[in-house]
């Protein structure tokens, strides 16, 4: 259990990658690049923002924002250019030129990343209290497989609290004493320093690491999916999920992120982000593997886990979190951009 002084929010500069797709109209790459240059406002020239395979820095630009080894080689994609938008006009120009040349746009963004019965009991109680804790406290639960003689599910709890550890101890002891939180489980630090903690660096790591982009291709493959939970998942439901997780032969975990707080005071239709009032928490499912041969098995198991969870999560539509990119939902299998088709699949996006 960690304790810190302020909440984190991490968004990286807007990147737009542009890829051709087997669409009805054949994309015209040359016209597209000419259009970008012609449409660009001379005050904020776009040239320096465009990377094509002819630029020596194309691959490094690509891998620096590609965390997933499944997509680490730009040759395996239909990528024709990357626009590292430096000004909002670059985004507008890219959209206009892509549309007129039958080219699809993918928006890239950065940012985002334990035993048995006893832990399940605590987790079940966590579902009841986590969204009703004081607004200053964010308490995430992470069910995951533990390595050892026998595979088991353990639950890790991580929190950020805006206040002193003494005050936090009081809140936890009142609402979730089963956690057995102790003073030495907590770290006090500035809000800024919490950013490196959430990025999985050891406590005390300087925030300057956040400026570094990876210079080598990613070393692991992963698949992530998400769900929203509006009613507590019953114990038998959790057990079914653990049994499915135990079928994986590599790292797999879930992040249960409580909503509640201010989120619960805003109606779903009040802003562009609809996952507000009425959500207890969001689940992120995450599987990570190193062996390229394991990709098929992992994707199949993720599908199975998502299927097992269906009974217990939001429905009609089944909601998902846009920033955890999941090509299985909101996609256009026909290859033609069609919002209606994509929305049928699951995403609820207010535009």
Ligand X SMILES: *[C@@H]1O[C@H](CO)[C@@H](O)[C@H](O)[C@H]1NC(C)=O
- Contacts (CB under 6 A) with ligand X, residues 100-139: none
Q: Is 29 in the site for ligand X (CB under 6 A)?
A: no
Q: Is 50 in the site for ligand X (CB under 6 A)?
A: yes
Q: What are phi and psi of 253, to 5 degrees?
A: -150, 165
Q: Is 47 in the site for ligand X (CB under 6 A)?
A: yes
Pick the closer one to ligand X by CB: 150 or 316.
Answer: 150
DSSP symbol at 268: T
Q: Is 269 in the site for ligand X (CB under 6 A)?
A: yes
Minimum CB–partner distance for residue 204 and ligand X (Å): 5
DSSP assignment of 220-248, as one string? -EEEEEEEEESSPPPHHHHHHHHHHHTT-
Q: Is 206 in the site for ligand X (CB under 6 A)?
A: yes
Find tokens 């963004």 and name the residue: 109
Pick the closer one to ligand X by CB: 80 or 308.
Answer: 80
Binding segment (CB under 6 A) for ligand X, from list 19-27, 51-59, 271-279, 322-330:
51-59
* Alpha-carbon span 238 to 185, nearest angstrom: 27
Minimum CB–partner distance for residue 344 and ligand X (Å): 21
Binding segment (CB under 6 A) for ligand X, from list 121-129, 189-197, 280-288, 340-348:
189-197
- Contacts (CB under 6 A) with ligand X, residues 57-96: 59, 73, 75
Would you report the helix, strand and coil content of the chain in percent, each value rounded to 5? 35, 20, 45
Task: Show the binding pattern over residues 291-330: x = contacts ligand X (CB under 6 A), - = does not.
Answer: x-x-------------------------------------
Find tokens 């964010």 and name the residue: 138
Between CA 324 and CA 331, with CA 325 as vertex, the angle to 5 degrees is 140
Residue 330: left if φ>0, alpha if ψ -120 to 50, beta else—which one? left
Please say whether the beta carbons of 158 and 170 come within 8 A: no
* Alpha-carbon span 154 to 138, nearest angstrom: 20
Please say whether the beta carbons of 116 and 153 come within 8 A: yes
Minimum CB–partner distance for residue 240 and ligand X (Å): 20
* From 22, 149, 272, 351, residue interacting with ligand X (rule: CB under 6 A): 149
Residues that bind ligand X (CB under 6 A): 47-48, 50-51, 54-55, 59, 73, 75, 149-150, 189-190, 193, 204, 206, 267, 269, 291, 293
């Amino acid at each position: 259990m960690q304790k810190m002084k302020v909440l984190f929010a991490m968004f990286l500069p807007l990147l737009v990658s542009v890829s051709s797709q087997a669409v009805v109209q054949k994309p015209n790459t040359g016209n597209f690049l000419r259009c970008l240059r012609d449409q660009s406002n001379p005050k904020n020239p776009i040239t320096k923002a465009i990377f094509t395979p002819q630029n020596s820095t194309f691959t490094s630009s690509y891998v620096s924002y590609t965390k997933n080894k499944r997509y680490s080689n730009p040759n395996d994609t239909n990528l024709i250019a990357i626009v590292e938008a430096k000004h909002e006009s670059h985004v507008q120009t890219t959209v206009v030129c892509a549309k007129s040349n039958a080219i699809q746009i993918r928006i890239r963004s950065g940012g985002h990343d334990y035993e048995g019965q006893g832990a399940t009991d605590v987790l079940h109680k966590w579902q009841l209290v986590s969204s009703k804790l004081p607004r200053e406290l964010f308490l995430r639960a992470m069910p995951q497989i533990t390595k050892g003689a026998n595979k088991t599910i353990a639950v890790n709890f991580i929190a950020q609290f805006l206040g002193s550890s003494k005050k936090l101890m009081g809140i936890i002891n009142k609402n979730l004493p089963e956690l057995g939180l102790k003073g030495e489980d907590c770290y006090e630090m500035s809000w800024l320093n919490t950013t490196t903690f959430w990025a999985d660096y050891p406590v005390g790591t300087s925030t300057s690491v956040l400026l570094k982009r990876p210079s080598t291709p990613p070393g692991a493959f992963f698949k992530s999916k998400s769900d929203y939970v509006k009613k507590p998942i019953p114990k038998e439901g959790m057990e079914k999920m653990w049994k499915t997780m135990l079928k994986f032969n590599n790292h797999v975990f879930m992040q249960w992120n409580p909503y509640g707080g201010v989120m619960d005071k805003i109606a779903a239709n009040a802003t562009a982000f609809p996952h507000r009032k009425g959500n207890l928490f969001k689940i992120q499912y995450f599987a990570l593997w190193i062996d390229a041969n394991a990709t098929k098995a992992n994707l199949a198991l993720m599908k199975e886990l998502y299927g097992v969870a269906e009974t217990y999560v939001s429905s009609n539509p089944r909601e998902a979190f846009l920033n955890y990119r999941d090509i299985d939902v909101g996609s256009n299998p026909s290859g033609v951009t069609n919002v209606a088709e994509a929305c049928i699949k699951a995403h609820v996006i207010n535009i």
